[in-house]
Amino acid sequence: MSDDESILGFSNRWYAKGIETAVTCPLNEVLNIKRLSPELFVATKLEAYLGRGNDDHIGSRDIEDILLVVDGRGELVAEAQ
């Protein structure tokens, strides 16, 4: 994701920090990806939901993504502090 709204037509106040602190993870021997910390991922998804969710908790992909990260991840609270 870019933190420049002119590129994608939207942005999120958490993208810049996410880009700055992203962790490189190997997918295979030749391909690496950058990933957000779980707490920043949740922050970006919460902001996205507030901007486009239309109070549809059931149909929101952002809420679904948050639930997938939070479910069974007890350490998330400690990571967010």
Measure the CA–CA gap between 37 and 42, rounded to whole angstroms. Answer: 9
pLDDT score of 57: 84
CA dihedral 13, 17, 19, 22 (to 10 degrees): -130
Give, for all 81 residues of the chain, the pLDDT tens digit. Answer: 677 777 877 778 899 999 999 999 999 999 999 999 988 999 999 999 998 888 888 899 999 999 998 887 878 778 777
Measure the CA–CA gap between 24 and 44, rounded to whole angstroms. Answer: 18
Query: Torsion-angle region of residue 36: left (phi > 0), alpha (psi -120 to 50) or beta?
Result: beta
Q: Where are the domains of the chain?
A: 5-80
pTM > 0.95: no
